[in-house]
Structure 1
């Protein structure tokens, strides 16, 4: 886990080498938190390619694993991430005639690139963002993992340099301006979301792009200024694949795949811990890790005493049952004053709620305890349909298919388990006419964006997004799960986790985001995911004998959700909100009439949060 940066310049020479070397150093030092264990640089002999690297040593912590790393007198790499199947790949490559001089996964990537070319990424099970320079072909290769766990940004400078880095602050350090995309601002203030789904390489900032998840791009060093790199998608989820397994067969297969994923993600030359919320997802990982390793991982949690959504009871139950040494923080409103701006500095783009700040503090707790690697349960809710809104989509699928018995049975079972049934005529019509429902949702979102009373009308008129607003066509549960994993919910959550963990120099590994596992779960019928009134049914059934029934069959879904509304009612926070409104009004984003104290704390805490977030971001 590391921080990477690089420059491809249009011209070479002694003057340029000095200038670009200085610039790359500036970039790398702006993201020094990503790699506290080392710093190194390299430039090509023609003075046109420059790489920098900050190291967080996890696998092969010896100097042999230092980057930039070279291979075969031709390739040079800077790499951020972990290749979990590197041991298996190394054996495969040895059989193909390759020798290895380190124990690192970095060298395996280079050998795989030499052996398989650009298609090497199809063999990788891991989270990664890397750049390889082919000195013979004078060609740059940038690649990002299947789900986008690791970030990779790029931009063209005013001088015609192609610049890439792990975080945008490195691009800003290189002189790329931090200018917010006004349409993105409007989307965030209205919905709390960032990113337009159909623009998968866009970011919150103008002229800064990202390599999309599951993609790689290539570029010749002689390319014209501001030319579009060649971009390729190497992997996608097949949401139409169908398994004919019985539930019992599916449980065996799921146990096999998830256990393998956990086993490989326990590979580390430094201590490994676990982020534990007390929910099904993280508790399952804790149980599997103990079964595989024979010992319980140290766990790290957050509690909110007195809050109705506090999960301390469940965290303690899991810890007692598995013998886990649990470390816990009990944050209150003071973290907003003490840590909010620092967290936002690391996040660089908007965050949807204070739960992101709680995650930041949990990861800090782990780092202070000497843990450098954490397992985390992110991705399970989107994969196994863990969120309450998925119940509506599931019931619409059963209605559309004419499975009336199943539809009414499941509806009744979910009600018994506390689901608030708001199903009405519109839901049944949406099941029958999904295209109409899609158009209706798009219109609704546009209306939500355009009807923001605090926003300056001139700003709204100038930057109202039209073509960018998108909602998926949903004819099955898999459609909405695919949308959330690939385009909507999960990409934001992965960004939060990457920035929060790397802010403290630790690595977060996500066992549920293993490509074969994800594809397998997508192939299962919807009724394997939601069944008998429970979300994540197949996961609960699979790990049921590893945890107390109280944990396995719990009905709540929370995960570090803090009492944000009461926190934001604190006078010190209200003062910050007033200041944020004033700042956004001075920029012309909010209207002047919105810049009054009486608008704060009147039940509009979500908008207040979004204004506060925007006010501390660059640009």
Structure 2
């Protein structure tokens, strides 16, 4: 949602409109509904914006937006609780001249400064220039749904939604050999030990749930974490209480995500996550048209063992929503591969990225601008079969042997593959040792890979461990945290963002 870019520099000779235009042009696919630019009087801050209009389609809501003759913002994303937040800010004395969520961020920043991020429920990446303090503030949402890349060198700080916005201003493409080595040998597309690292050595990613402050006078920059998942606290609720609370939270989340001044649709894969969302949003649809006018989009694979068309059909029979389907093919992927790589910018490890690309392409053809899906459900709810053995290990490590046997029996009954052997027994009682052993195994894979040149390994001498990290898992939550916050979910969100913005 939208493309943002900008430059902050203590050198007034660096920033000029044509440079910002080049950055914005490189991000035009992210915002086909308009563009805007801002350069302050001292020529130390410049912002660019490509607009994808979702909330408040008027010209008054265009960006960069200015507030109180002091703040200027370029922002990508959507703040789902903007209506509630705007109301509380009104009660505090703030006035609003648009119906946009952008203006709400500006007012929240004036009131709370960097603590404004605590009040934002949404997906976002934004940069705010404070003319009075000569400071730049940028923040990214909790899980990293919206991207924010930056380049820093001496008196120059530049940022953009995608790296191509930075390349457009002349920043060179310098491949990070360590990241490439780990991708070729381990399939990693992120460094779990340093998620700010990208495949380009001179470009960093602002971490999810982080903000940065930059003083344009001193060039001093600081990075701060503002949120983290609590994997330790046990709520102490009954199963019924958990289900009731989860239902309330899910319904409220879907209702807020349905707020839009343009058409909203949904992905429907046939899985529990997207199917649940489609079912839950039915009561939220307007009376005019109702379910019969709501559009869903699916990828199907006739003849493929894991084709979920049957599950999709079951949901359609129950919910009576519209459904449009696409069948991705290897011929199509070959034809679209260069375009797919252009939008993704960094390597990807699965052809499923292309299936999602085609689903979003289909939605665009049917004039649907906003798509709701269930990304992240498997990571926070242990939806993958790979999590089964970690759950059993947790039970055994806590001497809950009878419950472990019962759960394992139920897994078998429901044809859920539980991998269990000596390594799992060792991991149960010696988790730290197993973590180290797994790291050593990955290192061996890297340095002994038959297809990697000795020259590349020589470049890596002394840095062989860089990017190799395995968590110490003593309970299921340890692994869910790792995949949600450190290694896994952000990768999927990157694919989703680029695929959705490509069309």
For normalisation by structure 2, the TM-score amounts to: 0.97
Instruction: Please list the CA deviations of residues 461-513 of structure 1 after superposition, one character each: whole Å capped at 9, or x if unmatched.
Output: 32263143111111110000000011111010000000000111xxxxxxxxx
- 2:270 match: 278
Q: Give aligned pairs, total.
A: 496
Q: How large is the RMSD of aligned CA atoms in angstroms?
A: 1.2
1:263 matched to 2:255? yes
Q: Distance in 1 between matches of 2:27 and 2:479?
A: 35
TM-superposed CA distance for 1:421, in Å, is 3.4
Q: Distance in 2 between matches of 1:392 and 1:20?
A: 57
- SS across alignment from 1:22: helix
1:118 matched to 2:114? yes
- 2:138 match: 142
TM-superposed CA distance for 1:378, in Å, is 0.5
TM-superposed CA distance for 1:457, in Å, is 1.8
1:490 matched to 2:489? yes
Instruction: Please list the CA deviations of residues 123-168 of structure 1 after superposition, one character each: whole Å capped at 9, or x if unmatched.
Output: 10000000000000000001000111000011025x7421011000
Q: Which has the higher contact order (CA 8 A, sep 6+)?
A: 1
- 1:480 match: 479
Q: Which moved more, 1:287-296 or 1:326-335?
A: 287-296
The answer to whether the 8 A contact 1:7-1:20 is kept is no
For structure 2, which runs of at least 5 residues remain unmatched after alignment? none
- 1:201 match: 196
| Match for residue 240 of structure 1 among 232, 245, 249 | 232
Q: Distance in 1 between matches of 2:303 and 2:326?
A: 14
| Match for residue 420 of structure 2 among 410, 417, 423 | 423
After superposition, residues 319-334 of structure 1 pair within 5 angstroms as 319-334=316-331
- 1:301 match: 298
- 1:88 match: 84
Q: Which moved more, 1:419-428 or 1:140-149?
A: 419-428
Q: Distance in 2 between matches of 1:352 and 1:468?
A: 16
- SS across alignment from 1:202: coil
Q: Distance in 2 between matches of 1:305 and 1:180?
A: 39
Q: Distance in 2 between matches of 1:318 and 1:335?
A: 28
- 2:368 match: 371
Q: Distance in 2 between matches of 1:150 and 1:416?
A: 41
The answer to whether the 8 A contact 2:385-2:417 is kept is no
1:222 matched to 2:221? no
1:382 matched to 2:379? yes
Q: Distance in 1 between matches of 2:502 and 2:169?
A: 20
| Match for residue 50 of structure 1 among 46, 63, 66 | 46
- 2:446 match: 449
Q: Distance in 1 between matches of 2:187 and 2:162?
A: 22
TM-superposed CA distance for 1:418, in Å, is 1.8
- SS across alignment from 2:127: strand
Q: Distance in 1 between matches of 2:477 and 2:466?
A: 25
Instruction: Please list the CA deviations of residues 295-352 of structure 1 after superposition, one character each: whole Å capped at 9, or x if unmatched.
Output: 3331001111111111111111111210011000112221122111101100000111
1:29 matched to 2:25? yes
Q: Distance in 1 between matches of 2:174 and 2:11?
A: 27
- 1:170 match: 165
Q: Distance in 2 between matches of 1:193 and 1:293?
A: 41
